[in-house]
Structure 1
Amino acid sequence: MHEVTVLVGLIDMVETAAIENNIDDIDTVVVQIGEMSSIVPRYMMEYFPNAAENTILEDSKLKIEIIPANGLCHNCNKVFKIVKNKGKCPYCKDDQWEMLSGTEFVLKEIVVREPL
Structure 2
Amino acid sequence: MHELGVVMEVARVVEEFARENDVEEVDTIVLQVGELSSMIPKYIYDVYPAAVDGTMLEKTKLDIEIIPGNGQCVGCKTVFNILENHTACPNCQSTQFELLSGREFYIKEIVCY
Aligned residue in 1 for 2:51: 51
Question: 1:76-87 to 2 correspondence within 5 Å?
Answer: 76-87=76-87
SS of the residue 1:108 aligns to: strand
Aligned residue in 2 for 1:33: 33
Moved over 2 A (4+): none
Aligned residue in 1 for 2:21: 21
Instruction: Quote the Cα distance in structure 2 between the aligned partners of 1:84 and 1:21.
Output: 42
Aligned residue in 2 for 1:88: 88
Unaligned runs of at least 5 residues, structure 1 = none
Aligned residue pairs, count: 113
**TM-score between both structures, scaled by the size of structure 1:** 0.95
Instruction: Quote the Cα distance in structure 1 between the aligned partners of 2:22 and 2:83.
Output: 41
* Mapped pair 1:99 → 2:106: no
- Alignment RMSD (CA, Å): 0.6
Unaligned runs of at least 5 residues, structure 2 = none
1:35 maps to a residue whose letter is: E
Cα shift at 1:56: 1.1
Identity %: 47
**TM-score between both structures, scaled by the size of structure 2:** 0.98
SS of the residue 1:28 aligns to: strand
1:56 maps to a residue whose letter is: M
SS of the residue 2:33 aligns to: strand
Deviations 1:50-94 (A, max 9, x none): 110111110001100000000010110111111111100001111
Aligned residue in 2 for 1:4: 4
